[in-house]
A and B are shown apart, each in its own frame.
Chain A
Amino acid sequence: MNAIVEWFTDPANWTGPDGVPTRLGEHLFYTLLALSIAALIAIPIGLWIGHTGRGGFAVVSLANSLRALPTFGVLVLLANSFGIGLAPPIVALVVLAIPPVLAGTYAGVQAVDRAIVDAARGMGMGEREILTRVELPNGLPLIIGGLRSATLQIIATATIAAYVALGGLGRYIIDGLSVRDFAEMAAGSILLALLAIVTDLVLAGLQRALVSPGLRPAQASRPRPRRLRAVA
């Protein structure tokens, strides 16, 4: 334990190319990059599929079976085929982030009450307006939910990507492992856990801020159907 505290208090670990700020910055950069690319690809497709209802079954089955794909294996295979560098791991991160974003977007749009969509059409909205003004805001909770799980997936997989020579916080674990420096490994793990938890909390906050108050569960209906408390 003392060794871990020492590691954190050692100024050498906070500067230079192997310092915490750099590694954290790298990890955030990979995450943001992969997430943005995945979102740019998956959200429009998800919106279109959800709006038209065409291909929904294929999307759900695809997302489900991709969950069974071992991410570490995909990462290693890409690195093996295309060599070490930034591109192969980022491609792997994007590929793994697409299913949750796609599934979330599709489900979000699909779950919008058809009566609301009919009412919008009845009021004279065009298909484009229905998509952007009705389905998108109403489907937002599930869409952001998809982005949240994709982000966690990317942060975790980017850690493993240190094994195929990517930077980021995973380096502490891989480098520590090769020289049996357990303090470094533990420090890396703690930083990673913190990064993941803080990121998730930020996204949860964002989800709350972006979603219309009208879509929050009403106070009255908030408690789940409780059993009668008087029952002994």
Chain B
Amino acid sequence: MIEFRGVTKRFPDGTVAVDALDLTVADGCVTVFVGPSGCGKTTSLRMINRMIEPTGGTILIDGADIMAGDAARMRRGIGYVMQQAGLLPHRSILDNIATVPMLLGWSKARARARAAELMEIVGLAPETARRYPNQLSGGQQQRVGVARALAADPPILLMDEPFSAVDPVVRESLQDELLRLQAELGKTIVFVTHDIDEAVKLGDKVAVFRQGGHLAQYDEPGHLLARPADDFVDGFVGRDRGYRGLGFRSHRLPLGELTTTSLGSPAVGNGAWTLVVDDASRPQGWCARRDGADGTAVTAEHLVPGGTLYDVTSGSLRSALDAALSSPSGQGVAVAGAGRVVGSVSADDVLAALASARAEEAAA
């Protein structure tokens, strides 16, 4: 647990970057600091490992004051990932990842073995081990940065806008990767970003900072979208917050029946559209009624691409609604397990579910 108690940072030129911050970061969760530039989110993060030292208040990690003891020694126990990966240009990828274990006095062989293991965990091809950082793409460098931070298996990971310098497609895959890793590792992660979507996607809890180093709201992402504390947070959270907020509501939805067929079989059923599935009953696309009405077999040419899929095991109301809206037939395809079709959802069902969820919340 990381506790900020009345923490203030006043720089020598008089600017107050963080003003009397009180905040508790829970163990095993991703806590995101988000806000516009100059709001003190990065300063707050960097105070945790004493890259910047507070001028007032105390920061406790598991009850111990961070200012007691040696800074360098303490930092070896906290993983740190930064925006420009900050890899050591003169070391191979493997040795970059092995850096902290080596600082901790591990043998070279053990540190390198651990580094190789981490390369696999973060999805780096083994042949990159002997390359140098400038031979890697930005996304790969960032993976190395994450692997390096995890090398000594620190309980805490500080991430300072780690994905903001890579292109949007790579960023999204890195975010997904982080969520997957976190599900396995359960680290205490403090993540700084200026991107509210990233905050909402990654955070178990989100701290919204406002200019001058004040905490505007500290809440779960669903609550942040549903009930912004004030106009500042409302403005910062941005447009479509109602729709995006659906992502944090999951509710049992009634699944409708769906007529399916497969390639090579005739289209069946009474509706205008038939869903085409493969042998494992995974969706392939839609087929319009007239194309198969004469009883001829459905071929690949008849297929109309489907919309997004609603995964009933992890799905949210947002993905259910999106599945319904993006499907050519108006019926969202619900899948489970290995992508097997289990039924359909409609936009009306989602709205009805939302209404009953709100009613339950009001009653509670």
Q: Is B51 an interface residue (CB 8 A)?
A: yes
B50 contacts the other chain (Cβ, under 8 Å)? yes
* Chain B residues closer than 8 Å to A232, beta-carbon distance: 50-51, 53, 71
* A58 interface hit (Cβ, 8 Å): no
Question: For residue A230, which residues in chain B have a CB less than 8 angstroms away from its CB?
Answer: 46, 51-53
Is residue A68 contacting chain B, with contact meaning CB distance below 8 A? Answer: no
The docked-state distance in angstroms from the alpha carbon of A63 to that of B50 is 51
- Closest Cβ of chain B to A210, distance in Å, is 37
User: Chain A: interface secondary structure?
Assistant: loop
Determine the chain A residues whose CB is within 8 A of the CB of B71 once the complex forms: 232
A228 to B50 alpha-carbon distance, docked (Å)? 13
Residue numbers in B under 8 Å from A231 (CB-CB): 51
Residues of A within 8 A of B52 (CB): 230
Nearest B-chain residue to A230, judged by Cβ: B52
State which size class the interface on B falls in: under 10
Complex CA distance for A8 and B50, rounded to whole angstroms: 61
In the assembled complex, the Cα of A231 lies from the Cα of B46 at a distance in Å of 10
Q: Which residue of A lies closest to B53 (CB)?
A: A232
Minimum CB–CB distance from A97 to chain B (whole Å) comes to: 40
A231 to B50, CA, bound (A): 8
State the CA gap A228–B43 with chains docked (Å).
Answer: 12
Chain B residues near A228 (CB, 8 Å)? 51
* B68: min CB distance to chain A, Å: 15
1/0 per residue B37-53: CB within 8 Å of A?
Answer: 00000000010001111
Nearest-Cβ distance from residue B99 to partner chain A, whole angstroms: 17
Cα A23 to Cα B145 in complex, Å, equals 67
- Docked Cα-Cα span, A103 to B51, in Å, equals 45
* Cα A231 to Cα B82 with chains together (Å): 15
Q: Which of A186-232 contact B (CB under 8 A)?
A: 228, 230-232
Contacts of B50 in A (CB 8 A): 232
Q: Which residue of A lies closest to B43 (CB)?
A: A230
A46 to chain B, nearest CB (A): 35
Shortest C-beta distance, B332 to chain A (Å), equals: 50
By beta carbon, the residue of chain A nearest B12 is: A229
A218 to B210, CA, bound (A): 34
In the complex, which residues 25-50 of chain A have their Cβ closer than 8 Å to any Cβ of chain B? none
User: Binary interface profile of B, 125-138, with partner A (CB < 8 Å = 1, else 0)?
Assistant: 00000000000000
For residue A226, give the distance in angstroms from its CB to the closest CB of chain B.
Answer: 14
Minimum distance in angstroms from B13 CB to a CB of chain A: 11
B98, chain A: closest CB distance, angstroms: 23
Expressed in whole angstroms, the Cα–Cα distance for A232 and B69 within the complex equals: 14
Q: Which of B66-92 contact A (CB under 8 A)?
A: 71
Q: Which of A228, A230, A231, A232 has the most CB of B within 10 A?
A: A230
Min distance, Cβ B77 to any Cβ of chain A, angstroms: 16
CA distance A230 to B9 in the complex (A): 11
**Nearest A residue (CB) for B50:** A232
Cβ-closest chain A residue relative to B46: A230
Give Cα distance in the complex from A228 to B160, angstroms. 15
Give the residue name and chain of the B residue nearest to A228 (CB).
B51
Give chain B nearest CB distance to A101 CB in angstroms: 37
Report A151-208 residues with CB < 8 Å from chain B CB.
none
Annotate B19-61 by CB proximity to A: 1 below 8 A, 0 otherwise: 0000000000000000000000000001000111100000000
Q: Which of A132-152 contact B (CB under 8 A)?
A: none
**What residue of chain A has the Cβ atom nearest to residue B75's Cβ?**
A232
Q: Whole-angstrom distance from the CB of A212 to the nearest CB of chain B?
A: 33
In the bound complex, CA of A90 to CA of B31 (Å): 76
Closest 4 CB pairs of A and B: A230-B52, A232-B71, A231-B51, A232-B50
Contact surface of B with A, Cβ cutoff 8 Å:
46, 50-53, 71
A230-B51, A232-B51, A232-B71 given; 7 more Cβ-contact pairs under 8 Å: A228-B51, A230-B46, A230-B52, A230-B53, A231-B51, A232-B50, A232-B53
Q: Would you mind naming 10 contact pairs between A and B with Cβ atoms under 8 Å apart?
A: A228-B51, A230-B46, A230-B51, A230-B52, A230-B53, A231-B51, A232-B50, A232-B51, A232-B53, A232-B71
